[in-house]
Chain A
């Protein structure tokens, strides 16, 4: 137990270091981009024609951009711990509020697609492994290649064309909260979630298949057969759990991909999630919004990875945290 605690503490320290590096990197990269965010904001607001140096200076001061870069960085970082994420230049809105509006949307899509990816991926992989060399396996494996290699935007366009335009079964774009209108929400999220989940399903299925194929020839499985257990019992009780470790590792990859892919999927399906907020903020050079979103995304990915690592212990008691 002590070793586990030490391990968790060590991972958390690593996570803090990684977060710090990510935040510094994104801070520096945003500042390296040419162009003044205040000028950009003024150029697309009503102030364009009255824009003068005093106005630019006043806004620069208001948003703290006149201070030295290290001061700006540490102010932003310390404010986060006080719950103050800063103010968006482009939206003229509290960033915490903006993220609170957007993150639930992205998390709804991302978590659903991760869950679907995992469940379907495991089942498909298991089926392919158990039926190794048979027709089912011969159909599943090429499809998983397709799922891994198909670009997300292409999948989005194809689904939109077939199910939205030609069959007219699903709405093309938009997002409704499931708490507002459950069925509309389901219809609107089928295509985006499918696009986000396809890579995960395919990857997870391939990982699962390989893992099951490694487990099947093990002695304890042979013993189970020799005890006269039924196939279903062997697969579910003995093969499944012992094959999950590599798949759980892959979960971290899926989550990272889904979060990254949300930027594209949200843009194509016009979903007001955090991915689209990130894109528009990058174009508007809305420094603090980009920093804050990246920070939260990095934090989420790190936490998921820690949870994944800890889950090995549950899956395989032989694993020791040292």
Chain B
């Protein structure tokens, strides 16, 4: 018997190798489908994500990532329905903005229910706004004078200083949860004082009762979110029997799950190698949406920094071959930027604006004029999603023309500290948060930015003036003209040095029919329309 052990082992090895060798080649020449057909009911969709929520049902503590994780189950009053920033009503069927009288009126859709069966109406919407205000987390909440319930389905927000941010910010960012479910957990009315908001929050961090097409039935932290269809949903669908979102931190594991059939979708994909691989295979469909712009942010407000001199900033921009970097690092999927606006953002993009194309000789000349004598310039960024190849390439281009550049790759904590509070030395290479909507522009680069508050980058006075005008201009054409003016000012002053825009994608097996990512990363109008060919 013992003598037979080795031949058996050898046979097992050969069989295993043969099985691997003969396994089906997944790259075949079948036509990609992924196109429309008659939606079918049924099926379980397993989607994987690299980031997972810490909080699932308590909007005051939910980040954009948290909201994106539970998007089959949550809805907002409005959503962006295209990349140019057009708003579409979801829980609100119509709305009116009256800047003269500092008012926004939402006309809510009738017949919408929360997952616990209670109705969604103006009282419920007001309760959600009040919760955000009470916890001081609702964006720009200090600008709200009063929230008024006009009638059962009409909600009016009175603002202190109306601006273009108000409607899209409050309309698209606040997910609506059931007041009854929350207050039951809190033990009573949280605003009258007999309910304990902390108790409610404790419960809501792990439980979600909202209005979306699917209801959350299981949440295991850092593991799985399981959704089932909501029978009383107000629109057609939902079609799937089950929608599972699994947290897979390793992209290689996520890819393997797609190949083995354990998953049918990878959400929020930014790794270009993986996107390119899925694009090349006929077994998958890739939806691309607006990703982040990556730019160099100089510490130009520091008088001791060489970057306070516009000629040095210009020299830096001349020295970098952005197209070569975008092609090399981005495998053709990155958009090299010549201005602080991607092409798809038609309202802000200035046709033909390319003030400083790659020209190392010009860079050297400007450096000489500015009297640059080898001061160290720190290229600061964070580890994680920053492509290291880009940093090395930028460092290489700058060193080629004579800059003394040192890389400083920080962990996330130090990076956040620098960007939001302490400031940084030299050039910060970071994503701008700008995805191409007007409010987005002023939120990040305007006169009163909500991010990049450290004030490290000096902004020209004309830019601040234009920014003020932008937030109070409601005529779309007039606003677009102002945005273009702002983009030109930034380019002329070389306030920021845009490098490229990355894609944000969603890869699916071809039997999944879904528009996710085509519009916007966090919310898109129709998760109820997702279906799978059986």
Chain A residues with a Cβ under 8 A of chain B? 33-37, 39-40, 43-51, 55, 90-93, 98, 101, 135-136, 139, 157, 160-162, 164-168, 171-175, 267-270, 272, 276-277, 280, 283, 285
Identify which of B19, B60, B413 contacts A35 (C-beta below 8 A): B413
9 sampled A-B residue pairs with Cβ under 8 A: A34-B411, A50-B137, A55-B136, A92-B54, A136-B5, A165-B259, A173-B262, A174-B223, A272-B220
Q: Do A173 and B19 touch (CB < 8 A)?
A: no
Name A's interface SS. helix
Q: Do B19 and A167 touch (CB < 8 A)?
A: yes
Residues of B within 8 A of A36 (CB): 413, 417
In the complex, how many angstroms separate the beta carbon of B50 from the nearest chain A beta carbon?
A: 10
Residues of B within 8 A of A168 (CB): 260-261
In whole angstroms, what is the CA distance A49 to B138 when docked? 9
In whole angstroms, what is the CA distance A133 to B227 when docked? 59
| Given A33-B411, A36-B417, A270 contacting B136 (CB threshold 8 A) | no
Q: Do A46 and B59 touch (CB < 8 A)?
A: yes
**Taking CB as reference atom, which chain A residue is nearest B52?**
A280
In the complex, how many angstroms separate the beta carbon of B444 from the nearest chain A beta carbon?
A: 10
**Taking CB as reference atom, which chain A residue is nearest B383?**
A283
Residues of B within 8 A of A280 (CB): 222
In whole angstroms, what is the CA distance A39 to B249 when docked? 23
Residues of B within 8 A of A101 (CB): 221
Residues of B within 8 A of A98 (CB): 221
Q: Do B260 and A172 touch (CB < 8 A)?
A: yes
Q: Do A39 and B139 touch (CB < 8 A)?
A: no
Interface size on B, residues (CB 8 A): 54
User: Is B252 at the interface (CB under 8 A from chain A)?
Assistant: yes
Q: Do A34 and B259 touch (CB < 8 A)?
A: no
In whole angstroms, what is the CA distance A277 to B220 when docked? 13
| Given A36-B413, A48-B63, A173 contacting B139 (CB threshold 8 A) | no
**Residue of A136, A174, A269, A285 most packed against chain B (CB within 10 A):** A174
In the complex, how many angstroms separate the beta carbon of B335 from the nearest chain A beta carbon?
A: 26
In whole angstroms, what is the CA distance A101 to B220 when docked? 9
| Given A46-B60, A168-B261, A280-B222, A35 contacting B451 (CB threshold 8 A) | no
**Taking CB as reference atom, which chain B residue is nearest A35?**
B413
Residues of A within 8 A of B261 (CB): 168
In whole angstroms, what is the CA distance A51 to B221 when docked? 26
In the complex, how many angstroms separate the beta carbon of B59 from the nearest chain A beta carbon?
A: 7
Q: Do B6 and A43 touch (CB < 8 A)?
A: no
In whole angstroms, what is the CA distance A267 to B249 when docked? 7
Within 8 A of A (CB), among B424-454: 443, 450-451
In the complex, how many angstroms separate the beta carbon of A15 from the nearest chain B beta carbon?
A: 31
| Given A46-B61, A165-B256, A35 contacting B220 (CB threshold 8 A) | no
In whole angstroms, what is the CA distance A161 to B261 when docked? 13
User: Is B253 at the interface (CB under 8 A from chain A)?
Assistant: yes
**Taking CB as reference atom, which chain B residue is nearest A135?**
B6
Cβ-closest 4 pairs across A and B: A35-B413, A272-B223, A49-B450, A34-B414
In whole angstroms, what is the CA distance A45 to B5 when docked? 59
**Taking CB as reference atom, which chain B residue is nearest A44?**
B63
In whole angstroms, what is the CA distance A147 to B244 when docked? 36
User: Is B246 at the interface (CB under 8 A from chain A)?
Assistant: yes
User: Is B20 at the interface (CB under 8 A from chain A)?
Assistant: yes
In whole angstroms, what is the CA distance A82 to B220 when docked? 27
Q: Known A-B contacts: A35-B415, A40-B413, A272-B222. Give 16 more (CB < 8 A).
A: A35-B413, A35-B417, A37-B413, A39-B420, A39-B421, A45-B62, A55-B136, A98-B221, A101-B221, A136-B5, A139-B9, A168-B260, A172-B256, A175-B223, A270-B250, A276-B222
